[in-house]
Amino acid sequence: REALAVRTRVGLFDGSPLGKIDIIGPDAAAFVDRVYANTMSTLRIGRLRYGLMLNELGVVIDDGVAARLAEDRFLIGTTSAGAARIAAMLEEWLQCEWTTLRVLVAPLTTTGAVLTLTGPHARNVLESAGVDFPIAAAEFPHMSFREGRVTGAAARICRVSFTGEISFEINVANSQAAAVWQRLMEVGKAHG
């Protein structure tokens, strides 16, 4: 039933447990290039890129989407189970292996909620709920993010999809999550 709703109409799920780690500093781009199998330093501000994380033997240990927030700042995503482990590994590498890199690793997984709206009607639901910037495909392309307000709450919205359908990952403060969730559910009824 849930899969059918996401494929034909719209669904909403809580993606909050997925790992979120802030990487900040003058050497942030060089650092994330060492962590991922693919190059992240070429990512433009406002864009997202999927990547595979490797250990020191070159073995894939996690995956996720990285966002370039600024020249010197990335927000990297991990699996839910890997969030604490990856943050600890990154910190160990900075303290023991790459001691000259000027980077701060800040685990943020529990500091905010992620409400993922997905399906063919996701854009209609988000517009009906109230968003203060354009979300048409041409103005808000896949693998990019925008910051603004959703249902009155400050949010960072990522256009990324793990379902294969149009999706919006709505990142809000924990204190705003229930109200945004309720509003999305209310307006979502008209869209099935």
According to DSSP H, which parts of the chain are helical? 2-8, 28-35, 83-92, 122-129, 174-188
Instruction: Give me the chain's average pLDDT, please.
Output: 95
pLDDT category of residue 164 using cuts at 50, 70 and 90: confident
Q: What is the pLDDT of residues 57-109, one digit of tens each?
A: 888 999 999 999 999 999 999 999 999 999 999 999 999 999 999 999 999 99
CA–CA dist 63, 67 (Å, integer): 13
- Which pLDDT value is given to residue 105? 97
Cα angle: 140, vertex 141, 142; to 5 degrees: 130
Say what the pTM is.
0.92
CB 150 within 8 A of CB 126: yes
